């Protein structure tokens, strides 16, 4: 979990040197730590004196994507994330993966220079930097809460709930299906009986098991 918040002063200019540009942006300053008073004054001067038609200040909070073992684990971690303050978190269910996105709504993006004109004065710039500093502190506090809340979920000594006979049977049939698809795609099986619906018969699964 090394993805932290960043404060970014950036310039939008399609004529900038390509070595300094990322998606038509030149990053004037990037930090994973709050700015000191001296840093704030120095970068305010850089913004005011920087010759660019467009400048904005952007803050991005902590974000984490987790590939979960199963739906129960995903739901549990989602509950922990929301309880930690990441109320914008959610699940993405794919064909073979369950992805949990842990995220919040702390994002901040404020235009400072538009059309080559500075929109605000130094006092307002200091106010924005102070606001970003507060978001930094809240971001780290939220990360600490999240780590504490999921500590029990990461306990390697915690035993999983024993699977029922129905779950074990379903898992066994799924494994047979996966073996069938793999062997068929590799050309190992040259002839398999199939039902009229197009699904494999039990005889096909027995043939697969006999190969191992």
Give the per-residue pLDDT at 205. 52
Six-digit token string for 164: 């029922």
| Torsions phi, psi for 47 (to 5 deg) | -65, -45
- CB-based contact 114:57 (threshold 8 Å): no
Statement: residue 3 has pLDDT above 60: no
Cα–chain center distance at 113: 30
Domains of the chain and any CATH numbers: 1-62+108-144 (3.30.1960.10), 165-209 (no CATH)
Give the per-residue pLDDT at 15. 40
Give the per-residue pLDDT at 45. 84
**β-pairing, 25-31 with 54-60?**
unpaired
Statement: residue 91 has pLDDT above 50: yes
Give pLDDT tens digits for 105-145. 888 888 988 888 888 888 998 899 889 889 988 999 999 99
Q: What gap in Å lies between CA 1 and CA 52, rounded to an integer?
A: 35
Give the Å distances, CA to CA, from 45 to 1, 52, 119: 34, 14, 14
Give pLDDT tens digits for 144-190. 999 999 887 775 555 555 667 776 777 677 777 767 676 666 665 55
């Amino acid at each position: 979990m090394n993805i932290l918040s960043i404060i970014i002063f950036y310039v939008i200019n399609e004529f900038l040197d390509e070595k300094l540009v990322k998606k038509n942006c030149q990053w004037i300053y990037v930090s994973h730590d709050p700015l000191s008073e001296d840093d704030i004054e120095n970068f305010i001067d850089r913004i005011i004196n920087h010759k660019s038609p467009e400048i904005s200040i952007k803050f991005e909070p902590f974000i984490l994507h987790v590939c979960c073992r199963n739906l129960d684990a995903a739901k549990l971690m989602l509950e922990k994330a929301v309880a930690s303050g990441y109320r914008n978190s959610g699940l993405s269910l794919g064909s073979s993966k369950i992805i949990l996105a842990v995220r919040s709504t702390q994002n901040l993006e404020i235009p400072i220079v538009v059309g080559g004109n500075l929109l605000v004065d130094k006092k307002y710039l200091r106010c924005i930097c102070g606001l970003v500093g507060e978001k930094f502190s809240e971001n780290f506090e939220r990360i600490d809460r999240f780590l504490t809340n999921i500590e029990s979920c990461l306990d390697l000594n915690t035993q999983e709930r024993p699977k029922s006979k129905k779950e074990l049977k379903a898992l066994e049939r799924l494994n047979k299906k996966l073996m069938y698809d793999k062997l068929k795609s590799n050309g190992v099986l040259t002839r398999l009986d199939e039902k009229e619906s197009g699904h494999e018969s039990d005889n096909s699964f027995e043939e697969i098991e006999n190969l191992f």
